[in-house]
A and B are shown apart, each in its own frame.
Chain A
């Protein structure tokens, strides 16, 4: 609105002052806002409709507070609200009241962090070594097993040079297609202890994949029931040479007897796999790194190379030539594990005088091992005393590994 100057009593009105009034009433551009009242109290439309005729703007409404700052502005850029904005209780900014507990999974964006059900989802843990792995059914990165189809071949290694954002390591797979026809898969699954808890549930899997070969790599979910696999696949990586997020969603119904989630290879390629995430719900979620302690604890549930520094286990001699040493795992195993021990020459039992007595034979699991631990037995030529205590003294190269795979 232009500034109007008062006309003093007795003064003659000047033409410029009269023109000010005319401009304001006409809505002359730059001398007032050209406003056309379209309707008022129109019973068929709105109580008030105002249209701005200015061809270069669409400034419909500006309501200012006492200090001149905007309270409500409606123009071509949208509706702008000043502060404070008072919305209904239990609502969120955005114009629509949202009641507690009403945001569905389908409304979630992928960057909303959610519980990841995978073991070693970031391919950070390689307790068995960094590879390369080439054998069928070999487990390279913890809990990820390569199952070959037909005459396909592969080589899989830990890689730190081609990782995705926010990752310390990825899995590098050099895959050569034979007669597998796309069925070769690096998978995680056969999780008997998760089957019941996911019966009938919709889950979404995502994984970051990088390859320069189109239609070579995709991910999938296998809901195995009635003695038959039922696969649901993502789309293929485009072959752009950049990391892409592949996603797939499946409902695990009828109730599965075996669950598998994996990466399928359908053409010869080199692929980098990183940062996978399996969540409950129809919307896939972006991978969020687990704390290393949690990440490792999940891996230890299936594979544990026991710490053997110093004198790890205390036991008892049962004869002049034998002693046994009970041990506990750091993490309860998912299934009864296989126990693998290094050669007898890498073990000694401590005699009462503190001298090491070399083992001539070793049993990694005397009797039966359990989900929580077992007992190791060494046999010596002599030097032990029945009933005496003894501690185990691992020598160079000693190893004791618990491995129980689904």
Chain B
């Protein structure tokens, strides 16, 4: 019952669903920030998603491993890095390494070839 991405658009924005409220909508990568550490720095292993229709009722914190929806959440981390200027292959390698570091080597579920094609 989380807020999660179902698919992505060419500008890297995420089409999102809020299970709890039954709401849907689109969130830009600017609207999906990294969570904060205790020292207020960005935690690149966590992304925040508010209910996409702006109701403010539900917020999900996704781990880089994917949490509730591994394939799309992992892809969201890659697209987040790309939106910040990281080259696609480097973003994939970086996120994949962090996925496997937190949840093990079998956790990576992104179709890398397909994603690379989409990211150009």
Q: Which residues of A contact B (CB under 8 A)?
A: 128-129, 135, 137-138, 192, 195, 257, 318, 324, 335-344, 362-369, 399, 401, 403-406
Chain A's interface: helix, strand, loop or mixed, by majority?
loop
- Chain B residues contacting A339 (CB-CB under 8 Å) are 60-61, 67
Identify which of B8-16, B38-46, B85-93 touches chain A: B38-46
Q: Does B19 contact A (CB under 8 A)?
A: yes
Q: Which of B69-108 contact A (CB under 8 A)?
A: 69-70, 73, 102-104, 106-107
CB–CB A340/B58 < 8 A = yes
In contact, A336 and B63 (Cβ under 8 angstroms): yes
| Neighbouring B residues of A399 by C-beta, 8 Å | 20
A336-B35 CB under 8 A given contacts A342-B58, A368-B46, A404-B68: no
Which positions 5-50 of chain B face chain A at CB distance < 8 Å?
17, 19-20, 35-38, 43, 45-46, 48
User: Would B56 and A338 count as touching, CB distance under 8 A?
Assistant: no
Q: Given contacts A192-B104, A405-B69, is CB(A340)–CB(B60) below 8 Å?
A: yes
For B, the interface residue count at a CB cutoff of 8 angstroms equals 36
Q: Check if B73 sits within 8 Å of A338, measured CB to CB.
A: yes
Most chain B C-beta atoms within 10 Å of own C-beta, residue among A257, A362, A368, A406: A368
- Give 3 nearest A-B pairs by CB, closest first: A338-B67, A192-B106, A336-B63
- The residue that A368 contacts in the complex, of B3, B20, B43, B57, with Cβ under 8 A, is B43
CB A156 to nearest CB in B, in angstroms, measures 14
A336 touching B102, Cβ below 8 Å? yes
CB neighbours of A365 from chain B (8 A): 35, 46, 61, 63
Whether A367 pairs with B58 at a CB distance below 8 angstroms is no
**CB closest chain-A residue, reference B44:** A368
On chain B, the residues within 8 Å of A338 by CB distance are 2, 4, 60-63, 67-69, 73
Tell me whether B59 and A364 are in contact (CB under 8 A).
yes
